[in-house]
Amino acid sequence: MFGTNPPSQHVYPQSIVADYTPGLPPVIILHAICCASSRWASHDAPSRQEKFSEFHATKTRSLLDAAIRSGSTDLTTFQASIILQYWAYAEGRNLDIKMSAHPFLEATPDSARMEEKRRAWWSFVMFDRYVSLGAWKHTVPEADVMTLGLPICAVDFECEALVSPNPQKVHDPSFFLSHQIGYTDPYILLIKATLLFGKVTDYNLAVDSRSSRRPADTRDTPVFRALDRLVAVDFLQSLPVEYKSCLGVGENPDGSVVDPDLYLVHVLPFAATISLHNAFIDYSNPQCPSALRCIQAARSIIRNYYLLAGTLFDLKRLHPFVTVCWYLAAVVLVQLCKRHITTGDRAGEATVWGEIETLKLAMLEFGNISPIGLRQEKLYKK
């Protein structure tokens, strides 16, 4: 369960047991894995499952705190801290772990070990971008991100193939729109989509609408127009043909093998679009460009949900952050519904209300295993 569900499978190799044969992984990793895996365990006895996850979460946190106090942190404790933080995020909790990640950026001669460090770091960076949610300062600054090389493809990582490091660099002007053959897979695309969301957060912070220094309307600036175009249009259009569908890898996927990473790749840009335009929306004006942009983004998010609902895929295996994207779409649609009510458009009101209910039920269903779904549904009600 741990090795095949997001986001855990990217923090630690799926060949985890084989890696430590004839022994076992370090105790702190075992506790973290047990804690994270409880999300996908049987829910026939929820109280017992909760006790199981809480027990291992407490053990993991205790070992982490001891390692931090003694100054004996290593890659294993770093990986365990990431796994635990992702679990807490899915549980709808805030978990403050004071641990310096910089030592794990240092290069090592062992290429396999270096790739393991690189993937752990990227998992940490992506988590940081998710919890920032378009409005909070990132823990990992852009300068540090610029120094990171992208990981190699997951299939090469798992089989420990002798491949050269990924040549794609974050600071390259074509980073978001050029996807090199042999060094692109759903996870690498998800890194790019997540960093794209992070760029919107950086922009929102730089021109905070609560600041008197902010211009009346920054949508006419070259920076805004370029970011809007990149987020709302160009990134998804640039994806290689085999990654064009949210239902799986291939030119014509039928939804029988949905990749959770790729699905989020197709949702994140729309959530980022809503975040970028949120401060400028005027729902009373049917021609407001930001309102039109956000309505289109919300409808794209729900369209992708409908596509997924038409498959046998268990949506609870998606990334927890997808519930935040559903929430953002629901908020936009609620405002659209209010406009329909005000103008007396009963048909439009009925259509939008059905879409809102669909997103609400999706959040509640996800909440059956991850309380973050319930938290987002409660926020939507407010």
User: What is residue 144's predicted lDDT score, i.e. its pLDDT?
Assistant: 82
Which tokens in the block code for residue 60?
A: 């993991």
Length of the chain: 382
Contact 260, 319 (CB under 8 A): yes
Burial, 346: exposed, middle or buried (Cβ in 10 Å; 0-12, 13-18, 19+)?
exposed
CA distance 338 to 283: 9
| Angle (nearest 5°) at CA 28 between 158 and 133 | 75
Burial, 382: exposed, middle or buried (Cβ in 10 Å; 0-12, 13-18, 19+)?
exposed
**For the chain, what is the largest distance between any 2 Cα atoms, rounded to a whole number of angstroms?**
70
CA distance 242 to 251: 5
User: What is residue 140's predicted lDDT score, i.e. its pLDDT?
Assistant: 82
Which tokens in the block code for residue 310?
A: 């038409």
For the chain, the straight-line distance linking the first and the last C-alpha, in angstroms and rounded, comes to: 35
Mean pLDDT (the chain) is 87
The one-digit pLDDT tens for each residue of the chain (382 residues) are 555 565 555 666 555 545 555 556 789 999 998 888 887 765 555 565 568 888 999 999 999 999 988 988 888 999 999 999 999 999 988 877 777 777 777 778 788 888 888 999 999 999 999 998 756 788 888 888 888 889 999 888 888 777 888 999 999 999 999 999 999 999 999 999 999 999 999 998 888 755 555 556 889 999 999 999 999 999 999 999 999 999 999 888 888 899 999 999 999 999 999 999 998 999 888 899 999 999 999 999 999 999 999 999 998 899 999 999 999 999 999 999 999 999 999 999 999 999 999 999 999 999 988 888 888 888 877 6
Q: What residues contact residue 105 under an 8 Å CB cut-off, 6+ apart?
A: 117, 121, 144, 147, 148
| Angle (nearest 5°) at CA 132 between 128 and 137 | 95
Q: Which residues sit opposite 169 in a β-bridge?
A: 149
User: What is residue 158's predicted lDDT score, i.e. its pLDDT?
Assistant: 82
Instruction: Kindly report, residue by residue over 197-230, the tens digit of the pLDDT.
Output: 999 999 988 887 555 555 568 899 999 999 999 9
CA distance 356 to 353: 5
User: What is residue 163's predicted lDDT score, i.e. its pLDDT?
Assistant: 83
pTM > 0.85 = yes
User: What is residue 17's predicted lDDT score, i.e. its pLDDT?
Assistant: 47
* Extents of the domains making up the chain: 1-100, 101-381
Dihedral through CA 45, CA 48, CA 54, CA 59, nearest 10?
-130
Instruction: Return the axis-axis angle of helices 27-37 and 46-70, rounded to nearest 10°.
Output: 150
User: What is residue 46's predicted lDDT score, i.e. its pLDDT?
Assistant: 56
SS3 169: strand
Residue in 320, 309, 325 with CA at minimum distance from that of residue 370: 320
Burial, 215: exposed, middle or buried (Cβ in 10 Å; 0-12, 13-18, 19+)?
exposed
